[in-house]
Amino acid sequence: MSVLFSVNTISKSYGDDTLFTDLSFDVKSGEKLGLIGMNGSGKSTLLKIVSGLTLPDDGEVSVKPGEHLVYLAQDDRFDPEKTIEKTLYDCLEGLPIDDRERHRRVNQAIGKGGFADTTIKTEQLSGGWRKRLAITRALCMQPDLLLLDEPTNHLDISGILWLEKILISASFSFILVSHDRTFLENVCSHTMEIGRYYDRGYFKIQGQYKRFELERERYLDAQLKKQASLASKMRREDEWLRQGAKARTTKAKYRIDQARDLRKELAAIKDRNRQTAKVNIDFSGTGRQTKKLIRVHNLGKGFGGKPLFSKITFELGPGFCLGVVGENGSGKSTFLSMIEQTSAPDQGTVKWADNLKIAVFDQNRTRLDPEVKLRDALNPAGGDSVNYKGRPIHVVSWAKRFLFMPDQLDMPVKRLSGGEKARIILANLMLQPCDILLLDEPTNDLDILSLEVLENSIKEFPGGVIIVSHDRYLMDNVCHRMLYLDKTREPAFYRDFNQILKARQAGEAAAKKPVKKAVEKKKPRTKPAFSFKDKYELEHIEENILAAEEKAAELTEKVQSPEVIQDTSLLTDLCARLEKAEARVQELYARWEELEDKKNAAEK
């Protein structure tokens, strides 16, 4: 395969902040490369250097002549007064194509993007549709190499699946910067991480993300073992060097030079291994043993006469994690606000256990004052130390747990990145012993190493968790059940994302089937019959409902027990039985209403 581009010993710094040095690699034709790295490692800067928007401090970039590169930035910039159609036509200005080809490309792009009305101005688009337009505009230019910087930002699950489908079947090469591990796994044939913990400044494999995880772990383990081996060797050399001058005169001079080189090599590998520091997240539980922390029954909400969701019923106990998934605008954040009791439902109830303590991660970061200094944001109570799990920790040490440097402590919050603000909120949550964590899009702006730590912290938290996220990798790893909200169908509970996607596909297939209209025969209007059988069923339905609810409650308790949670096959079986039991409860309630209506109609 021919080389599309290569970078040769490039370096880039901003002031005292060095992103990378002496970086050299190439990308070949046909590569679909996933590019990952810690926040601040220089991923976005590297894409800008390859695209020519930014120059390296040293080194050079060579691009194959005639190759058409297109760069898709994180931030979507449009002329607010231009329509969708005009925006797409304008992106083709200057390309060596005629009007017929321009018209064909725009119409094809409109269809691929799913835009129903192309006369809408860009300023009227939501964040998700702005991102769709930005992606569609980039595709319209038909690149040989597409550089995508966090393209799933602002996309809901439908948008992510839409982009996934496009990239899987793409004929062009691309470099994709993303923290969405399932997305990387599904669309990328090669995976590369840049970071100062690698001897070449990066680690690249031909393979998908899950294979990369294994290879990276082997590499970093080997590097740690090498450090231990060099340290042992260096101790022996130091002992020799400490011997008297008379003893050393009989030794070869090359050994002194060898010891000096060994010391340099050991210092370099120690420095690389120090760079792998992770955020230290550990949520605090209150230690309460209550089995039912929250009971939600028949919850419903709507706005402007239009329902968002209805008939949501569940219980949440310690050690159980409920995921909430849905399209943008399906009511996920509204649902969380009712669990938190900051807004009221239109129907149904939310019952808390007595003196329940809830900690909330707010996706909009509205609980952070942008004007306060970092030290005050990390320590809202004030003083030089924070009180964590009953013991004082100096604010400098506390800041280091979240990868903040001491010289950042006097910096105002508004100057921090999205990932840094997310780490402040996580730090504040750790200072609040609680029974339930409500996490609204906690993965936004976090790098993959931080996401891995967050996953483990959620798993180890002894209380209940409700988490809203589009991160399929994290949700499948931490959630025991998922509630899927969709404006086109009733809310439903699923075991994992795979079940959700199958239900979506089944719903879409059913919607595409032509509906046969039966010829209706007019029948004389008669009173609906309320038979003796109906009367008997109505008289006994309450006891049937109670029995069904008891069965569902019993299964819920079993599902939440630690021994079941650790047994995957048993958990899967019990979850399936619980879904059937809850469906039976809903079915009985619906039948009760039907029988009451028949009874009332017959009595009129």
Report pLDDT digits (tens) over 135-154: 999 999 999 999 999 999 88
Class of domain 526-603 (CATH, top level): mainly alpha
Q: Identify whether the C-beta of residue 21 lies closer than 8 Å to the C-beta of residue 69.
A: no
Class of domain 3-214 (CATH, top level): alpha beta
**How sure is the predictor about 532, in pLDDT bands with cuts at 50, 70 and 90?**
low
Burial class of residue 246 in the structure, from the number of CB atoms within 10 Å of its CB (0-12 exposed, 13-18 middle, 19+ buried): exposed
Phi and psi for 388 in degrees, rounded to 5?
A: -115, 115
Q: Identify whether the C-beta of residue 264 lies closer than 8 Å to the C-beta of residue 271.
A: no
Instruction: Please state, in angstroms and rounded to a whole number, the distance separating the CA atoms of residues 562 and 398.
Output: 32
**What per-residue confidence (pLDDT) applies to 52?**
93
pLDDT tens track for 195-246: 999 999 999 999 999 999 999 999 999 999 999 999 998 888 888 777 755 5
Collapse the DSSP code of 411 into the 3-class scheme (helix H, G, I; strand E, B; otherwise coil) and give the result: coil
**What per-residue confidence (pLDDT) applies to 247?**
52
**Nearest CA-CA partner of 483 in 493, 470, 475:** 493
Cα angle: 58, vertex 48, 13; to 5 degrees? 40
Instruction: Please state, in angstroms and rounded to a whole number, the distance separating the CA atoms of residues 408 and 374.
Output: 7
Q: Identify whether the C-beta of residue 482 lies closer than 8 Å to the C-beta of residue 494.
A: yes
pLDDT tens track for 250-304: 556 777 888 888 889 889 998 888 887 777 888 888 888 788 899 999 999 988 7
**pTM (2 d.p.):** 0.76
CATH of domain 294-370+414-505: 3.40.50.300
**Nearest CA-CA partner of 449 in 257, 193, 236:** 193
pLDDT tens track for 50-60: 999 999 999 99
**How sure is the predictor about 29, in pLDDT bands with cuts at 50, 70 and 90?**
very high
**How sure is the predictor about 520, in pLDDT bands with cuts at 50, 70 and 90?**
very low
Residue 461 pLDDT more than 70?
yes
Q: Identify whether the C-beta of residue 445 lies closer than 8 Å to the C-beta of residue 421.
A: yes
**What per-residue confidence (pLDDT) applies to 516?**
53
**What per-residue confidence (pLDDT) applies to 515?**
52
Average pLDDT over residues 536-544: 78
